[in-house]
Amino acid sequence: MATFAKSAFNTASYAAFRPVYPELLYKFVLQYHRGPKRLCVDLGCGPGIVTRKLSKQFDKTIGIDPSGGMIRQAREGAQQDSFRDIEFWEGSAETGTVAIDAGSVDLVVAAQAAHWFDQAKLWPEMQRIVRPGGTLAFWGYKDHVFVDYPHATEVMQRYAYDLHPDKLGSYWPQPGRSILQDQLRAIKAPEEDWEHIDRELYEPDTKGPYSGEGKNLMAYELTVGSCKSYVRTWSSYHGWAEAHPDAVARDKGGKGDIMDEMFDEIAKKDKIFRDDSFPVNVEWGSAVIRARKRGGPPPSE
């Protein structure tokens, strides 16, 4: 995706402040998987968070991303720990897998990336590389919700999607953002090649923790300061910052940027948002797609 591939994009901040996927989500994917765990491929791997996690479960794991900066970040992160056979390749989801043998992949995943893929080019390559009975798991999350603070959530949504050039709405890369907002419904595994396809969706609410609909796989307690750092990793914020080079965040010594303005607006009513150390409950709307490549052995009784 073009924004994250730009040399000016702060990949270190992305790695530091994006939410870490909970154990529950990995368990949800791995419980679905059947058969050997020889090779896992992570498409759009970004800084390698998921690649490194799954490397503990598979004999070999390959992370692929079109951003050279992300790949450098991923390799640096992998050096900090002791992992089994893990590699990071620069390339796209659609063509970056050409060196992988046909039918050799046991699990292919894409975390917060599938909404950027060219679906017409992607699916023939997935059909080629995944073994019969192998697993595909794509997941993503959209906007977070302050589940105990309806006003804060409403203000954030207004700033995020207002199309005025001084707000963030016009800076979201499309159609990827709209696909993600619709919880990946546009991503459909071809039924002639894939079976046992399921989707797990969660739509959070502002009536307290776990008040939304569906299976909640993305929930954390974050400080207000961490929330501010996270929203500055949004692709729309990066576009806004390029269009407003003189607007510098207060924590960077400036007079304030769009996120400072947004949190000031939130704090007019929800005064706790003035305190960067204050903890708040956050949930993300999410979607997980799981599918098996046709041709594998029948399920065991």
Query: Closest Cα partner for 90 from 63, 119, 124, 52?
Result: 63
> Which pLDDT value is given to residue 20?
85
2: amino acid identity, one letter: A
Cis peptide before 124 (omega within 30 of 0): no
Q: Which residue has the tokens 């959530």?
A: 153
> Which pLDDT value is given to residue 135?
98
CB 56 within 8 A of CB 27: no
> Which pLDDT value is given to residue 300?
62
Domains in the chain, please, with CATH? Answer: 10-293 (3.40.50.150)
> Which pLDDT value is given to residue 19?
79
d(CA 173, CA 40): 28
> Which pLDDT value is given to residue 18?
75
CB 202 within 8 A of CB 214: yes
> Which pLDDT value is given to residue 167?
97
- The one-digit pLDDT tens for each residue of the chain (301 residues) are 454 444 444 455 555 667 789 999 999 999 999 999 999 999 999 999 999 999 999 999 999 999 999 999 999 988 876 667 999 999 999 999 999 999 999 999 999 999 999 999 999 999 999 999 999 999 999 999 999 999 999 999 999 999 999 999 999 999 999 999 999 999 999 999 999 999 999 999 999 999 999 999 999 999 999 999 999 999 999 999 999 999 999 999 999 999 999 999 999 999 999 999 999 999 999 999 999 999 988 766 4
> Which pLDDT value is given to residue 4?
45
d(CA 203, CA 142): 10
Alpha carbon of residue 256 to chain centroid? 27
> Which pLDDT value is given to residue 106?
98
Query: Closest Cα partner for 137 from 109, 97, 104?
Result: 109
